[in-house]
Amino acid sequence: MKIMSDNSEITFSNYGVYDLESDLEFFLPNTTIKFHRISDNAFSYFRKNYEGMIVEKIIPIKSNNLKIELAPIRPLNHPARRTSHMFLQFDKDIYLSENSAASIFVHCPIEIGIFLVHESTRDSLDWITCNSLNSRFGLYGSPDTGKLCKYAKVSLATDYTDSNSYLEGVMQIVVENTLSFGQSISKIVFQITDNALYYQDSKTIIDGIKITMKKRAAVNIADVKTTSLQTDWSMSPTWEDKIVSTHMEMGLE
């Protein structure tokens, strides 16, 4: 919804479920979305971004009203859906002494989904990114055998309330160093389809990650596992197939 203040600044739309009875507009950074009733049994959908790209759809309906959910989703769709893995490069290395542990919060990119709400399911109508210039791929590993990931250079957050609305959510990372020497960590690679997203107003938080640095045979590795959040925030819907993955491993450099 659009709210104009005295100085004509736009207050962007909050996440949530909206009743669509006639016309509805969402205003997001660099993007405008409009729903318009064109008949008793159909709505039109219009989306325009800052580059002038327009998406239009017709939505037939069975009843007079329709519910729409605007929610943060995993950052896997722009510029194309090619991977389920995320590569977060920290802007500052994290150093842990031998046999120590630490808990940090980091920013993680998000995208935004628009869903049609049914009684027990959600249909994905559209998705957007409000930060397309920084949406890119990265390769973890060697050029011939490495893993293609969505890539982002990220900064530390103070806590769960420190998310950058519409652009990033906050994720807690617990790092444990079981090695007999100090170790720096500068990045994390993980399967983000294992991480649920949660929203409140315009803020987003994400299921966490636990990293255990340990030795396996003669190799130092980082064991990465997803940790579920306990929160009263609303869980975002997702239409992606979830591949069950309890953990993955990274090499330590």
Cβ within 8 Å of residue 91, ≥6 positions away: 153, 154, 155, 156
What pLDDT does residue 120 have?
A: 79
Looking at residue 217, its pLDDT comes to 76
pLDDT of residue 253: 56
Q: 240: buried, middle or exposed (CB in 10 Å: 19+, 13-18, 0-12)?
A: middle
Q: How far apart are CA 214 and CA 149, in angstroms?
A: 24
The sign of the dihedral angle between the CA atoms of 163, 164, 165, 169 is: negative
Q: Tell me what pLDDT residue 45 has.
A: 97
Each residue's pLDDT, cut to its tens digit, for the chain (253 residues) gives 444 344 446 789 999 999 998 899 999 999 999 999 999 889 999 999 888 889 999 999 887 778 999 999 999 999 899 999 999 999 999 999 999 999 999 999 999 999 999 877 889 999 999 988 788 999 998 888 899 999 999 999 999 999 999 999 999 999 999 999 999 999 999 999 999 999 999 999 999 999 999 988 778 888 999 999 999 999 999 765 544 455 666 655 5
Quote the pTM value: 0.89
Q: What is the pLDDT of residue 134?
A: 80
